[in-house]
Structures are given as C-alpha cells and as structure tokens.
Structure 1
C-alpha cells in the first residue's frame, strides 16, 4: 500500500515522517477530540496530536455508528478492521521493514484511547486479534521470530489479511499460567513436535489463521514452556463452541483443542524453554493497552452522561444544576484524568526501559480499569432507568469495560505484581 503524502496525514507512517509539518492537530470535530484536548493537549507531541486526530476521525466514521449493531448481531467486523490496518493501525509497534509504523507505547496509548471512544471492543480484543491485541502478536514475532517467520507472517498480520490468537490460558490454569498442561513432545525420528491439550477463552478461536500456543516441552514450571505457531487447518486442531459472553459480544471466543497436532520445528518461536518469557514479554504492553482502552470507553461514558444530565430536567431544572450531579461529574473527570496520567507514565516507563516499567504497568492497569468501569457505572446511574435500556449506549460500554479488570492478568494479580516489586526496593 502506498503511503500518503506529508500534507494528507492519512496514515501513521505519513504522520511520523512529517514531524516538522505537524504544529497543531487537525480537529475532527468530534466530542472526544474536543473534551480530551482540554486536559492533555499540552503534554502530547505534534505527532501524537495528529495520531489522535486520525484515530478519532476513524472512530467517528466507522465505529460509533456501528458498534451497537455489531454487539446485537455478534458480528466480527473484518472489513472495518482491514480499513484500520490500511491506516497503519495493524502494526503500530512493528519495524518498518515488514510494514509496521514503529511507534512507541505512548503513541499507542493515545491512539487506543481515541479508537476505544468509538467502540471499546474493536480496539480491545485481548490477545492476538484485532488492533490492540494483534499489535502484541506482531511485536512478539518481531522480537523473537527469525527472519523467515517475520517475513512470512508479519506483512499479512499487519495488513490484517490474516488474524492471530494468543493461546496461554487453560481450563485449569488462569492466573497461575506457569502450571499449564498442554504438552509438546518431539516426534520419534523427527524434529517435529506433537501437541496435545486445550486452551480456554481464546479470542479469535476458529476465526484466526495463526495461533501462538504455549506448551510444555520440559519440566514443570516456567522454564519448561515453549511457544509454537500453529496454522489453522493443521490436522488435530479444532475449536469449541463460541462462548456466550456478557460483553465483547462481537468478538468470537472459543476453546482451542489440540489432539496429536504435528508442528514443524520451524514453527517454534524463539528457543525451547523460552515460551513463558515470550508469553510474559508482551504483558506489560498489553496491560497499558487495555488500560488505554478503558480510558477511551470511560471518556465516552462521561461525555454522554454530561450531555444527558444537561438536558434531562427534574423538579423544573436540568439535573446538572443539582450540586450532587456536579460533584459526581467532577469526580468522574478526576478519576479519568488520573487514569490517563498513570497510563501515560507507564507507557513512558516501558519506552525508556525502566526497571520499574512492570510495576508501573500493573498499577496503571489496576487503577485505570477499576476507575473507568466505575465511571461507566456512574454514567449509567446518571441516566436513571434509561441507562439500563439498550436504546442508550452506556450499558454496552459498561458491559464491554467490565472484563478489563480480568484481562491481561486480573487486578488481584496486579496487586501481587506490584507488591513483589515493592519488596525488591532497597
């Protein structure tokens, strides 16, 4: 795909290549751009302002008008995902030689928030599907894959010609991921591996073309785990029924079952025994991503609640004239602003290679996902009975935001991660 010219700013790479031309963000005219810029415009670079404008415009045109119907129909919007990939959103953190945009994590956080404003689930598929998660997949292959793997898979994944899924969680191993039971034994007289086991809650199950599977090749514990690339259609690879979920209903989620699946040794990602490190390597970025998505969804809920409260009249006046409503909206804004700052700090720490990056990511994920779900809940409450109806979008955002406190490590595990870092401090 040909890149846009510097004057058009139609792709991420075109924006990155035109820094000297980017003095002010182009307003998309959307409420998200208007509201967010009041609070954080001063801390964003010229490029980041343009990234946000591009993402906001896409969200306004493609996501806001369609999210409710996708949710109702459980429709996975492949064609819209590929439009997003055409703008550069499919490979934000990947190297340019394979078609990526080579952005940093702070850039990504700005973009994810703007996209999630339009539809939380579109950008927040948990692992290896859609934009936010596919970027994690791309980054893993970029970092650990050999040249053959990178050149074969990444261009297709970045353009979302192919989709990929991340397979770590199992029915009996969730938070205790290192106890996984899926096995990979070397075939007799061959360098191939034979995989057996099952994975649970896999985003993109049955839809994705590529599955990154963590399997045990050695002893118990994290050092006995390796990572394999399984291709859809391999004999013995099958999928369970689609899960019927509270939220994220436009995203297919199934179990992934492996029964004597023969995998070439060339499909091992990294070295034998490196799988758990690969699995964990993307989690810091994934936690920042999901927290960014929470901020975008919460911003939508706050804007919607403020607009509704300013027009809803009770006892002869708009309910925004009641001090209790003013206090509630002010507290929602404060919690959102604090969440956004924590996410930005964590992203900057990860970009800088700080030894505290994992702790910052855990704090940001824990705080932002809890706070932003509460903002959505308060927005629904401000709508009264109308907020409980599907005619109003807040209930859908609340359902989609709820799972963010579970994804990428539960918020209880985030506290464990943080406390372990605290014990390491001198």
Structure 2
C-alpha cells in the first residue's frame, strides 16, 4: 500500500509517465531500426489494450456525467442561470474556434505547405478513401437522432449518445424531484465507472510506453519533405493556440495563472498527446477541471460536451492548414470567399467531429464546401493519411486543453471557481492519496 500511495503522488507519478515516454520512444525506435516486428507488435498491443480499457468507459461516463451535470445546475440558481451558463459555454466554444481557424489560415499562408510539389499517393489508398462517406451537413443531421437507443451505445455513436443524454438530462431537470430515482441510478453508475477508472489510470505509464513506442515503430522520422512542411504548419498553428490563445484568455478572462493551469492540466494534456483520443482522456479532463476549482456540477456538464464539440485542433487549425496544403498540391487558388467558407465550417461544424474520425469528417466537410471535385478530395486526404497519427497527437492535446480551459474561465465569470481548490496542489486526475475519486453533485437538491 505504501508503494501504491507513493506511486500516485503527483511528482512521482509524473516522473514515471515521463520515463515511460522516453523508454517507449527508444523501444519504438529500436523496433523500427532493427526490424523487430515482435517488439512493434508488443508495443501496439500494450497501447491498444490500455486505450480500449479507457474507451469501454467513455460512453457510460458521457451519458451519466451529462445527466448529472444538467440536473446539478438546478442548485446554481434556477433555469435562467443554467441557460445562461450553457449559452456562455457554447459562445466561448465558438469564439475560440474562430480564433483558432484564423490562426490556422495565417500559418498556412505563411508556411504555404505543398506549394510547388506534386505527389502521387498509393492508388489503393485513394480507392479506399473515395469509398468512405464524406462529411456533410445532411449526413450530420440524419445521424444526430438514433434509430435505437441501445444501438447508439453498441455501435459507439458518441454524438447520438450526447444528443440523448442532453434530452434526458433536460427532462430530468424539468421533472425535478420526480426524476430523483433515475438521477440516483445515474449517480451510482457514474461512481462505479469512476472507481474502475481510478484502477485503470494506475496503468497509465505502461499504456503511455506502448502508445508512444508504437508511434515511433510505425512512423519514426520517415517523411518526405513536403509532408514535413505540413507537419510543421500544423504544429506551429496548434502550439500558438495551446500556449498563446489559451494562456491569454485564462489570464485576462479567467484571472487564472497559466502556470497554475498547466501545472494541474499537464497530465491530461500529455495523455491526450500520446493516446490521440479526447474521449479516452475525458475522465482525466473532467477531474482536472474539478482540481482547478471548477464547480463539479458545471464541470460534469461542460467538459463532456466539449469532448464531442470543442476541438480547436481537429476542427479549426488542422482543416485550415490541410486545405491550403491540398489545394497547393493540385495548383488550386483560394480566394477570399473560400477562406470565409473555411471559417464558417470551423465555427459551426465542430459538432461534426464527434467520434474517432473527427478529423476526416471536418476535412472532407471543408473541402467539399469549397466545391472541390471528389477525386481531388480523396487524393488529397490520401496524401496526408499516412502521417495523420503524428499530426493527431498535437491536435488532440490542443483539443483537450481547450475542453479544460474554457470551463475554467467561464466558471470564473459565473462565480463558480473555487480559488482555494485552484491554489491547492492536487494528485493526478482521478486519484488521490487513498486511490479514491472525486464526484460531481449527485442531485438537484445537493
């Protein structure tokens, strides 16, 4: 027990995770250079199993957390306050998406990735991508409401689960005391999932070793020069948002020290980087917001909502940069109207990024909105498809940072940020010294 408690202390846990990153990178590099297929397979299996363990809990966590978050808003001052809080959250989601896409366009124009080159991707890859359903507003609306509630869970349709959870949560909010038995059941399920996650997260160093090792084993540094320019542009754009936009808004809107924020959020950001999944990072993200002093009820509403709709990396910076890259690749000139369309899609289309193919949906939605031929869209995506895991790391880290930061400064403006909690050192997300978890308010009367 003493080892476990030492292991879960913030500094020790952080050092172990960093060590796992280094060891995983070295093992992945060794597997690639020496052709050790068995080692690459082992690293892929370790990372995959750990991510699968987290993914299993994502849908029940999203469903119960949103319901508990909405019903707990009753104690924040009534329906008017809840509506104002939700509206302010969505407004900030859109505002930061606007800033992020403008940064993506600016960086894309300066770096100008893909200019003066002509790449021919694997024809088989082009055929496979051409067969995939491209993102569209019609398909988004058609897929929003599930035909069957249980199928939505079974098939992992995150956006449909969120839609149902919002509807059920609002119904529970309106029913008040009559919905208390159902709310208590959701609280019990939420607590069970959180407890399971507190055990799973102890395996994070091992999971990180497998994830980063697999990335190095499969992709390494073997990139053609034009794709390196795309990689550089994506990283510059997302890092400007990550370490420029968010710290400024935290400082001047949220009155929160950026150093304090990143000190508490770094474990979640780091895990998002190596796991490449906002959904898998959700438990860490929510608890990080609580550790930053955000009201647990509001955190349980805003963070899960942000996990499916707030993706500045995947839905704003990346589509802008990648669109410039692909149009440069085919010698297509973009005009002012085209850039305005990119902005509109980024600001209003982020909800379409729910699920593991969010980047694909947003990029195809952006390219099709510009009126590019299907062959150009498929070929362009085939070019970037091979290096997507490397790009997805920084995109996901940016997504998760925004999903934590925005509820933090919105909570400040609404008087829902506890400075005592904010300024108190905390254990890694989901874990305290006893290995227990924190929980949101259970009921409307809490």
- Tell me if both proteins adopt one fold, taking TM over 0.5 as the criterion: no
Structure showing greater relative contact order (alpha-carbon pairs closer than 8 Å, 6 or more residues apart): 2
- More helix per residue: 2
- More strand per residue: 1
